[in-house]
Amino acid sequence: MTPAVYGVLFVFLAPVFGGLLAGVDRRVSARMQGRIGPPLLQPFYDLGKLLQKQARQVNPVVEPLLLGHVFFMAVSGVLLLSGTDLIFIAFVFALAALFLVLAAGSVNSPYSFAGAERELVVLLASEPFFILMMAAICKVTGASTYAGVLASPQLVAVQLPGVLLAFLLVATIKLRKSPFDISTSHHPHQELVSGLTTDMSGRMLAYVELAHWYESALLCAFMVLLFNWSVPLGLLAFAIAYALEVLVDNSTSRAKWQLVLRSTWAATLVFSGGNVLALFLLSR
Amino acid sequence: MRRTTIPFGPQHPVLPEPLVLDLILEDEKVIDAIPTIGYIHRGLEMMVERVEYTEMGFVVERICGICSFMHGMGYCVSLESIMNVEVPERAGWLRLIWAEISRIQSHLLWLGLGADAFGFENLFMHCWRMREQILDIFEKTTGGRIIHSVNRIGGVKRDISDSELAAILVQLQELGEAFKTTARVFGTDPSIAHRLGGVGVLSMEDARAVDAVGPMARASGIATDTRLIGANFYDRIELEPVTETAGDCLARVVVRLREIDQSIDIVRQAIEKMPKGEGLPLENKPRGNPNGEVFTRLEQPRGEVLYYVKANGTKNLERFRARTPTFANIPAMIKLVKGCDLADVPNIILTIDPCISCTER
Amino acid sequence: MTSLIAFLIAFPIVVGTILLLITRASIRNPIVLVASAAIAAASVATVVTFGNGDGVFFGLPGGIVPGQALLAAEIAITALIVVIGLMNRRILAPIMAIAQLAIALFLEVTGRMPEADPQRLFWFDRLSMVMILVIGLIGTLICVNAIGYMHDYHRSNPMIKGRRNVFFSILFIFLAGMFGLVVSNYLPMMLVFWEITTVCSFLLIGYTRTPETIGYAFKALNMNLLGGLGFGLAIALLADQHLGLDFAKLMAGPASGTLLAAVALLAFAGITKSAQMPFSSWLIGAMYAPSPTSALLHSSTMVKAGVFLLLRLSPAMSGSTVGYLVTFVGLGTFLFVSLVAVTEQNTKKVLAYSTIGSLGLIVGCAGIGTPELAWVGVMIIIFHALAKGLLFLVVGTIENRLYTKDMENFDTLLSRLPRVSVLALAGIAGMFIAPFGIVVAKWAAIRAFLLVPGGQGAVMILIMAFGSSLTLFYWGKLLIKVLSMRSISDYERSIERRISRYEWFTEGALAVGVIAVTASIGLISDRVVGPYALSAFAAGPQTFLNIEPAMLVVMLAAVLFLPLLAVWASTRKFDAADFYTSGRSANASHVMGAALGGSKSVTLRNYYLEGVINGAMMFRVGTLACGAILIAMVTVGMVVR
Amino acid sequence: MPNPLKLPMIPRALRNLVSKPATRRYPFEIRPRFAGARGTIEFDVETCNYCMLCARRCPAAAITVSREERTWAIEQLTCIACGVCVDVCSKHSLSMSVNSRAVHLRSEVGPQGQRPGHEEWHKPAPAATDIPAVAGVPAPAASQGA
């Protein structure tokens, strides 16, 4: 199959993957809390119900911006799999996330705005890592595309242990898991109500959910980049990483934004930065 | 310069109660907090004009869904002292036991809400799971999980058999043991220390200055506890107030954690000391209508509650007032909220264990 | 072509002189319009005539050598600085100006000054072509915009004495200086044009003549004269060692010895002019001038002269320690000003920090001296000039409508000034959103830094990663403010109608330019910037844009489609809901119930990361760090000799 | 500062993962109410003598009794299940079941605006001789709202 076909497949299969992942997540989280939990397909039922509901908006630009959020999340995956330069993907990924911030910010209401600002803070926290990770992967493998990295004889994770470690930390932000779920939370008992989704309902909320599923699939694809010997190996690594995330999610409270920013930057600087520095020094 | 205004409440999901605050923020630092009360005023005190004093106790119980037993008890104690009614001994001990179980229930509920506010869903589930078992005890013994309606002027409505009391004690002690692992999480988890440690510090002087009551005051090192005045059989219990010195949110959590153990011990002492046997008198019915006025103080889970009752010899009381512990702690809360982070606001608000519905009645 | 170049340099001076004498707006405005059109047309004509050749050299008709004329010009400039300095009781600027003149006089008197080759006075290649277009098109648009802006500016600032004849006069002379600078091949001639831009920017910054702006103007003058002194010393060094003053010959390849020392001094001059740390403060102070001044200084002139010089030096710095140190001055500036920008609330200052950061990137690219990074540098020059020119003009327009420069007061702009908002969105998007040119260039820069061997490469990539993310943060904040909406009153709706057609035209043209140039990025890379990079470094053929240009265009279309969708959506009826206020009352005008009764408007303030990033401290740290690197750079250049 | 990597909740979460959940599949699996739980008020119309004491003592004013029309009605949604009516009823017509009151839907509001949870009993009038004299009880209208 050509890379373009993978790209198209991503558009259709990533939501299925993300939704199932969310279903498993909710089930496992419930069991960790001693509850029975919802059916496995509950996220899909929820999405269906959200789409059926009356769509009420505070202003008319929210919907286009959220569509942009979904679209660019999907585009990031398509570009990644269809062989676009990895470092460029990091920028597109940030653009996709930015659309969510703008949608929430455009509402101009106290809670959505504070959520949007916090999302900007976590973008600021996570973005350096993704640029650095992509650059490091390119440096290690000498390739610049997804297929190229997968074809490389080097096992990236072995060369980039620090980046892998920082990835686990930063993925907590992107997967919206405690302790880093500061801009939104799956149940709204936080100081910002529902953070940046506070003023979104019905169809709007469905877009956010859908984009998050794409995002999860994208993170999985990133994990495959780190374990590039085979796709099943990458999937296994992602499953283990996700299980860890769920466990930590159920074992910590939500951090404050200052700690999120500081710890993520420190991890990026020390673990991935140190890793990249070593890589450059040794490859001389 | 422009600042963010966050309308915090009345219907904010992090608050179990309709507290109303305007938070003025820079970044997430709270520059100013403007509180107001009165959102949920229900006019319960006014109902003394319609409901006869014999039934008013059931209304008073509904001031709060958490300390409902203590509110009913406070009302009955007030009327008993106006009408000079002696409560039968077993009834008095039963009240004390129910009151302490209420305290356990209230603290567990609060710990769960606190955990939820700082984003620890799992811990919330664990606290509330144990609370469910306490509610089962209430349902078995009083017939109601939240509203018990067992207090009568002059005693209590229902008895608990000695064998059941023993079973309850065993159950409580087992729960207390099982809860130790959950309590350890509160005490040692680094993410909780990050959210609560050093947050909202109320010094002992400040606590005195703003007249904090209950666990709020005890967490700042003030050994105040209305139970120490000895009324309602507390004089026959060995009781040392639980105090902490740090005065921060974490200290207020720890005080309540320790009070759960303390209450279980008080229940044990009560069961040992109360008169045993079936068919002991439970109620000395009052005669006639009350005439006179009285203040009653009780130590509720949230702190000291104050009742004022004025009767004029008719079936309806002339005046009934309740000053709840939350009202006494609001000044402390506002003091602490100024200058903290937005993320600290729920924790600070919750650590006073606010019951705005009680405050506004 | 020679005549076109001569026209580009001489005509603005003539126009400037005429404008100085005209105080009536009804006469001035048509002159400004016609002259701007003529200059724009001439710059396009120059480029068209140039065709596809690599570098061409030419002289003045009849082989005239400007030797004495240059000296005369330099004396005139020095005299002007001395007079103004003494009038304002400032001593430093006159001293530096006299010192510089002394160097020139010394060389001239002792006969050490090498004569210019009459056939190689001017050097025109693709970099000059890019610069000519930037100056000729964007610069003139700013001049036209100033007609509308200055009218409103003086109406809303009645305390400031109107000297619009002087203002417009300087604008045009500034353009002439820039045109001369970017085509000069004889270094003393370049220095004269260099000083013309310095003096013009000084006069523009001090236009309002308040004590505050005079202070900032002198700060700019002092710093740029210090750079000019470095330039002069470089000429003296080259002359003393008989290396010649033919710029193209000197910069043909990696430099060493005395030449490298001269390159270090020239790089120092370039760094001062492009407002890199430790010399950033002059450009921040320039923010107090009227907005067209800022637009001109930031987009098409002044600071671009600095990076233009550094890009010219790039082949000579290639692979040397001096080059690496220049790179770190640039990248260090990029990182530190980005940190500062995150904590800044004044929109114009945010734009200024963003400019310094972007220039830092160009300086960083120039220092390494590889074709890939030279490509990145020129790309950033193009896209930055368009986007930043647009943004400053738009902010100026907003400022004259809302009477504020505070970013926080730009909220609900999409409702209040919808069309201006769309223009602002184009500018902001051009600065940091993915398919737009600057991001493409940043991405290419990271790719190129990956090839830098050793620990330096790792540090460069780290700086790029963090710097880019900080950029995302502060632009994101501004975007949120611009994109937010609420119901507005009829009065507020009427505000936008009072914007002059000059402003609509120029800002609209720039917005279209931002999009059009991004859409044709493949063409620009293949035809202009790519060949320039290859010829400057005499490198073998290679592609620079490692991405399908078509894909970028599709992405661009998507990004553009969404705002259009939003604008279309805003005209439609929708199922309106009130926003969440914890159960308080709220309405579409964004008024909500207050705690103590009554109501208050929703006020929201962006995060400035207080407690995590201290802007003032970052500025000091950056100034110290980059200053140290700069001193090291000059020292290394001198010592290696 | 405690060790940031030592999270005491982790063993607990893992143990929960493999042990039996504490929740029930509620609508399919319902825990029986405890004996003595206070639920809805049940009424035996046959034994009632319309003395109206229950209505007068009810703190929630949930009970309405009409002696003339011989009806006894309760608003189950207003009732606070305190049990006073059961205590005061001399005929033991009232009792308390352990079952909690049913959930009512808005759609159950009747065409005349009847409230859900409204339960009413009517006993046909017997021969006049059957009515025991209940002297001293005030007229029904006057007793309302006590």
Measured distance CA(B165)–CA(B158) in Å, rounded: 13
Q: Report yes or no: D25 at the A interface, CB cutoff 8 Å.
A: yes
**Residues in chain D within 8 Å Cβ distance of B52:** 57, 146
Partner-chain contact B7 C595, CB within 8 Å: yes
Structure tokens at C63: 């082989």
User: How far, in Å, CA of C438 to CA of C34, rounded?
Assistant: 32
**Nearest CB partner across the interface for B190, out of D2, D33, D82:** D2
How far from C626 is each of B179, C278, C358, C366, C630, CA to CA, in Å? 58, 6, 16, 16, 6
Residue A261 with chain C: CB contacts under 8 Å: 609, 612
Q: Which of A32, A248, A252 sits opposite D17 (nearest CB)?
A: A32
Q: Could D9 and A252 be called an inter-chain contact, meaning their C-beta atoms sit closer than 8 Å?
A: yes
Q: By the 8 A CB rule, do C284 and C199 touch?
A: no
Q: CA D128, D129, D134 angle in degrees (round to 5)?
A: 90
User: Given the structure tokens 């129910």, which residue do they identify?
Assistant: B98
CA distance C597 to chain B (A): 9
| B159 to chain D: closest CA residue | D36
Asked if B51 contacts B316 with a C-beta cutoff of 8 angstroms, the reply is yes
Share of chain A above pLDDT 90, in %: 63
Taking contacts as CB-CB distances below 8 angstroms, the residues of chain A near D12 are: 251
The neighbours of chain A, by the rule of 3 or more Cβ pairs under 8 Å, are B, C, D
Strands (DSSP E) contained in B289-352 are 291-300, 303-312, 319-323
Q: What is the mean pLDDT of residues C39-44?
A: 94
The range of the structural domain enclosing residue A159 comes to 3-282
- Nearest-Cα residue of chain A relative to residue D21: A34
Average pLDDT over residues C578-585: 85
| pLDDT value, residue B238 | 87
A40 to chain C, minimum CA–CA distance in Å?
31
- Kindly give, in sequence order, each residue whose CB lies less than 8 Å from that of residue C307, ignoring residues fewer than 6 positions away: C270, C274, C359, C362, C363, C366, C377, C381
Residue A21 has pLDDT above 90, yes or no: yes
Task: Please give the mean pLDDT across all residues of chain A.
Answer: 90
Whose tokens are 């240059």? That residue is: C70
Q: Concatenated DSSP letters for A14-46?
A: HHHHHHHHHHHHHHHHHHHTT-----TTHHHHH
Of A31, A32, A55, A27, the closest CA to residue A42 belongs to A27
Q: Which residues of chain D does B51 touch, with a Cβ-Cβ cutoff of 8 Å?
A: 59
What pLDDT does D139 receive? 41
Predicted local confidence at residue D140, as pLDDT = 42
Q: Provide the pLDDT confidence category of residue A188 given band limits of 50, 70 and 90.
A: low
**Helix runs in C288-346, H state only:** 291-295, 303-317, 321-342
CATH architecture classification, B44-322: Orthogonal Bundle (1.10)
Domain boundaries, chain B: 44-322
**B198 contacts: CB under 8 Å, gap ≥ 6:** B248, B250
Q: Which pLDDT tens digit goes with each residue over C600-630? A: 888 889 999 888 899 999 999 999 999 999 9
Residue C325 pLDDT > 70: yes
Does residue C576 register a pLDDT over 70? Answer: yes
Triad C597, C603, C609: Cα angle to 5° = 130
Of A35, A250, A251, the CB nearest to D23: A35
pLDDT of residue D134: 52
In the chain, the amino acid numbered D115 is R
Is C298 in contact with C205 (CB distance < 8 Å)? no
**Among candidates A229, A231, A211, which has minimal Cα distance to A81?**
A231
Cβ neighbours around C80 below 10 Å, total: 15
DSSP letter assigned to residue C137: I
Class of domain D33-125: alpha beta
pLDDT at residue B252, rounded to an integer: 92
Min Cα–Cα distance to chain D from B21, Å: 32
> Which of B132, B191, B344 should one mutate to test binding to chain A, selecting the residue with the greatest count of A CBs within 10 A?
B191
Average of pLDDT values for C582-589?
84
A262 touches chain D (CB under 8 A): no
- Across A19-33, C345-359, D62-76, least confident range: D62-76
Cβ–Cβ contact D27 with A under 8 A: no
Could you give the percent of chain C with pLDDT greater than 90? 49
In angstroms, the CA C334 to CA C474 distance is: 14
- Residue among C230, C246, C194 at smallest CA distance from C103: C230
In angstroms, the CA C554 to CA C435 distance is 9
Q: Are A42 and A110 spatial neighbours (Cβ–Cβ below 8 Å)?
A: no
Query: Which of A36, A37, A251 is opposite residue D13, by nearest beta carbon?
Result: A251
* H-helix or E-strand spanning residue D56: helix D53-57
Average pLDDT over chain C reads: 89
With beta carbons under 8 A apart, name residues in chain C contacting B22.
594-596, 600
pLDDT value of position D143 = 36
Cβ–Cβ under 8 Å, residues B71 and B91: no
- pLDDT at position C194: 93
Do at least 3 CB pairs under 8 Å connect D with C? no
Is B7 touching C (CB cutoff 8 A)?
yes
Q: Given an 8 Å threshold on Cβ–Cβ distance, is B8 in contact with C583?
A: no
User: D touches which chains (3+ CB pairs under 8 A)?
Assistant: A, B
- Give the number of C-alpha atoms closer than 13 A to the C-alpha of residue B105, restricted to the C-beta side: 24
C531-551 burial by CB neighbour count: b if 16+ within 10 A, else e?
bbbbbbbeeeeeebbbbebeb
CA B215 – CA B259 distance, rounded (Å): 9
Residue D144: its pLDDT value, please?
Answer: 35
Which token pair is C297?
A: 């200084």
What pLDDT digit, counting tens, does each position of C253-305 carry? Answer: 888 888 899 999 999 999 999 999 899 999 998 888 888 888 888 888 888 99
Is the Cβ of D5 closer than 8 Å to some Cβ of chain A?
no
The model's pLDDT over A200-242, given as tens digits with 9 standing for 90+, comes to 888 899 999 999 999 999 999 999 999 988 999 999 999 999 9
Q: Look up residue C540 and give its DSSP letter.
A: P
- Report the domain count for chain A: 1
Which of D61, A112, B85 has its CA nearest to residue C602?
A112
Interchain contact, D12 vs B122, CB within 8 Å: yes
Q: Which of these, C517, C35, D125, C487, lies nearest to A60 by C-alpha position?
A: C487
Asked if A165 is an interface residue toward chain D (Cβ–Cβ < 8 A), one would say no
Q: How confident is the model at residue D76 (pLDDT cuts 50, 70, 90)?
A: confident
Point out the least confidently predicted range of A188-197, B18-27, B202-211, C360-369. Answer: A188-197
Q: Do A247 and D25 touch (CB under 8 A)?
A: no
| Shortest Cα distance, chain B CAs vs residue D145, angstroms | 8
Q: Give the amino acid at C51.
A: G
pLDDT score recorded for residue C55: 80
Sign of CA dihedral B101, B103, B104, B109: positive
**ipTM score of complex:** 0.89
Q: Do C322 and C264 meet the contact criterion of CB atoms below 8 Å apart?
A: yes
Residue of A nearest to B182 (CA): A251
Rounded to whole angstroms, the Cα distance separating C383 from C388 reads 8
Planar angle of CA A63, A67, A71, nearest 5 degrees: 175
Asked whether C540 and C416 are in contact (CB, 8 A), the reply is no
Distance from CA of D21 to the nearest CA of B (A): 11
Spatial contact of A250 and A32, defined as CB atoms under 8 Å apart? yes
Nearest partner of B151 among B48, B263, B71, judged by Cα: B71
Contacts of B300 (CB under 8 A, 6+ apart): B67, B70, B103, B106, B214, B324, B325
In sequence order, which residues have a C-beta less than 8 Å from that of residue B223 and are 6 or more positions away?
B241, B243
H/E run at residue B306: strand B303-312
Euclidean distance between CA atoms C621 and C626, whole angstroms:
8
Number of Cβ within 10 Å of residue B262's Cβ equals 18
pLDDT tens-digit series, residues B61-83? 888 888 889 898 999 999 999 98
- Cβ burial of C172 (10 Å; 0-12, 13-18, 19+) is buried
**Which residue shows structure tokens 């679209």?**
A71
d(C-alpha B27, C-alpha B6), whole Å? 12
Say yes or no for a CB contact (<8 Å) between A33 and D13.
Answer: yes
> CA B345, CA B334: separation in Å to the nearest integer?
10
Name the pairing type of β-strands C599-601 and C591-593: antiparallel
Tokens 């002690």 correspond to what residue? B173
Of B3, B26, B34, the CB nearest to C596: B34
